[in-house]
Structures are given as C-alpha cells and as structure tokens.
Structure 1
C-alpha cells in the first residue's frame, strides 16, 4: 500500500500479527485493537502496526513488540520472541542448529538491514529469513526433545499484585493482578532483559538455564572448580589432526570468538585431545554447544570436562621420608 508521506516509505503496515499459539490464547473469538505505526520496533527501530489483545480470562493484555520483518527473519513470535516451531528462545535454537547471527546491533545499520531483508524475502518468496538447510540432525533432535508440544497458557497469567504481597491491596476482586504470594525464586529474569538481547540470543538467562539443564542431562554439568577451563575430547578418528580438530570446534560454536581458544592439545596415539579455553564462560559455552554431539572429521566424538590439577606440595609435605626423618 503506497504511503502519502515519503518519510514513511520504510514503515510497516500489517493486517494481522505473527503470533505463537500460546500468546494468541485459547479463545477463538479474540478481539484485538490495531494502531498503525503505534510504536517503534524493539530491534530495528522502524515504526510498525501494533496489536493489543487479551488472550483469555485471568490473563494480562499482550501487545506486539517487534515488527513483522524482524519476526520473519528469526521465525519468532512478535510478542514473546520465541521460535514459532519449537517454542524455544532464539539462543537455544541457534546453539542447537549452529546458526550464526549476522544482523547488526548498532542503531545506524539495523534499520537498513531490516529493509534489505524484507526485500530479499519478497524476491525469493521465502516467508522466513532463517536458513536451517545445512543444520545437523543431532541439533534438530535436541530441539525436538526440548520443544514444548502444547501451548503453555499459564505464561499469559497476570502478574502477582505487589500490594497484596505487602498486605495492603484495597481493590479486592477488581484488582487486575493475581492475589497470591509469590514463590521463592519465581522472578522472571528473562522479562527484565532487553528485547535486543532476547532477539539476537545473547545473554538470555532463560536460554542459559535451558542449555545448562540439557548439558547436565548429557553428562556435561560444569564442575564445581571454576578454574577448570578445558574439555576432554576422546574417540577421535585416527587421521584427525590438530588443525581439523580446531576447525571442527570453531564451526560448532558460531557465537564463540576463536581467540577465546587458548590451545588444542592433540594426543594422536590415544586418539584424544584437550580443548583449552581462556576463560570459564567460553568453556561452558562449548559444553552447552556440544551437548547435542560433536563431529570431527565426519565422526561423532565423546566429550567430558577436564579435571582440576592437583595442588602443589608446600613446605615439608612433599619432601619425602628422608627429609621428615632429618627434621625430627
């Protein structure tokens, strides 16, 4: 639809939002309010058509927070920013599928990037800008295990009334919030994070919790000793080299800076290797990415955390029997 104002050429108009089944709610006759150019997109900053609705009785009103172009690029819901196919955060999906994030995060280039992606999808006829054709089977199996098959309408419930928690809410049944005491540790950290971080899959606490739990189920729970920053790789093919191992590691963790790898120690006779990282955060990221499996030179290898180094003896503890006898 052509726009009269040339300044609105890049703005987005739509007739219906892109939503997941959970955000839409169980009511088949949901009523929505529509406001053209009601707010700026939380990721590309372009004005877009905003929709607002109530998904059901006892639920809070919901609204769209990103434009449809950005939602199509990531194949996510415009409201909760979760993947439309698996219902998982983008960081979990991208980690499992090995998808790289090439979208700019600066204010200068992100609007230009969104416009280019919109025209690219229109020319190719692709409804989604996400390319997962080269992803591994293991990554897809991981997502199937983590995916929520049924809609989780409990997520739409109203927030707990803070006045009720303090014991001084006077609104009674007219209060739009829940009158129940909050459970310990029930604070939703993901809701406090910025939309940009959740969209690009960086520093998402909800995704980190899911990935950590899955890694623990695969025997890759982070050890209590935080000084351990190495992972042990075994069952390597006999023809593997240090270069091929490093290449497989870099390709398996697109979000990891290759400079974070301190060294790769390959023991050819034992068909194993140690991947040493510069910090614990990079090592945990590798463990979460390899929980679905790691392939080196076309074969699947086994992954375990490294062990802590034994403490160096001090004083007369390691001096031996002769030294102890002499001192006595």
Structure 2
C-alpha cells in the first residue's frame, strides 16, 4: 500500500507545469540585421542631397508625367484584354482534339514566345515597309477595302498589337494549365447530364480553372505594367518616355527616374490588392471544401 502511494506522489502533475515559450534567437537576429540594413538605406536616401527630393516632388504631378501615366494605364489594360482573350481562345484550341487547331496554337506560342518583345514592337511599327497597304478581302479573290498602313498602323496601334499579341502567347499557356488542372471527371459528369461542350466549358471547367489561372494572370498584369516602358523605343509617350523627355532638357536624370519609379510602385501596389481579393474570391470553394472536410473528420472522430 505504501509503494502505491509513493508512486502516485512521484508522478508529475502536468496541469501545474509552467509552459515556457520556445526562444527563436535566429529569427530575432535576422530581423534585427534586416532592420538595420533597411534603416541604413532609408537614412542614406533621405540625407543624400544628390537624390534631390525637392525636384522629385516638383515633378511628381507634372502634367507631362500624368499624361504618360494615363498612357501607361490604358496601354496596360488594352494589351491585357487582347492577351487574355486571345490566350483563352488559343488555350481552347491547344487542348482541342482537332490537330490543325492544336498545332496552330502551339506554333503561335512558339513564334511569339521565341522572339524578343522589343523586336516585335519594332516590327509592328515598321509594318508598312513590308505591307504599304492592308487589303481586306479573300485570298486570290476580290478585295473589299485597301488601307494605308502608314495611316492606320500608328505608334499606338503598333504598341497595342506588339504587347497584346505577345501576351496572348503567354496567357494561352496559363489558361491551358488552369483547364488541365480541372479533373477529367468533371467534364465526363457534365457530358453524362447532357450538357453541350460550350456550356461545359463556361459553366463547369472555367469557373474551377480560375483558381489556378488568377495568380499567374495577376503576375502577368503587373509585369505588363512595367513592360509598357519598352514602347519608348517607338517614341510612344508613356510614363518612362515622359520622364526621359523632361530630364533630356533639365538634366535631372535621377530625380525624374525616381518619379517614374514611384508611380510604377503605386500602380503595382493597387494591382497587388486587386489580385489578392480576386484570389480570395475564386478560392472560396476550396476553402468551403476544406472546412467541410475538417468538420466531417471531427464528427467521425467524435462518433
């Protein structure tokens, strides 16, 4: 009897034991080092008179800069609309059972992804050297209209075509990966219910594929925003080219580049927030499925 009581007295009481949090010395050390580096860089940027922050604030809302900013915004939107629409069509063609459609989509992606975007922009800008007139009609048949290429292929049209058609090749791969991520059983179940192909695509496949498509599309949109700076080679006055025009006359190169960078950062931040809310919206079904699965597992364990 005494042995049993001694054993009970020797057993530790876990309820009265104090919980000591784990010390993360490595995390705190890394955070302090990064904080010191950020503080040193910020102090250097603020105290260095060569940055000329007074010039930066002088030109941040300059009408020429704002005009270039508007051009950058609408060029980004137009190019992404063309690229997304074209990429969706090419992705559907790529997964088609028709070999002609599939090979055409593959060849398009190979051509536009294999050549530099800068070369494509210059090519579209100088299209009139190859085709002085653009004839609309049937091949080897009657022509309904003949357009002057120099008149209709302006720098704005060349910029939109160059950016949009190039983006379509990349978006086709993004959309195709999203479509392939949807289980084949979804399509088979919809076909068993008698749904048509287009209805299956737009009501069953695409809504589920958006969860995979949205994140890389958001990255492409942010990348397109910065890629629009390439159109300065064809003398289109977007944000960067507007800054270049100003510092070519007043020789304030660094402050004007900072002005352009500030606006790029502002637009990128806004687009990042939009991407975050879109990802959360299209990820609701997965979240509901996870919550339902966890609740079911809890009920089974309780049973």
- Report the TM-score when normalising by structure 1: 0.21
Larger strand proportion, structure 1 or 2?
A: 1
Which of the pair has more CA radius of gyration? 2
Q: Which has the higher contact order (CA 8 A, sep 6+)?
A: 2
Report the structure, 1 or 2, having the larger helix content.
2
What is the TM-score normalised by the length of structure 2? 0.23
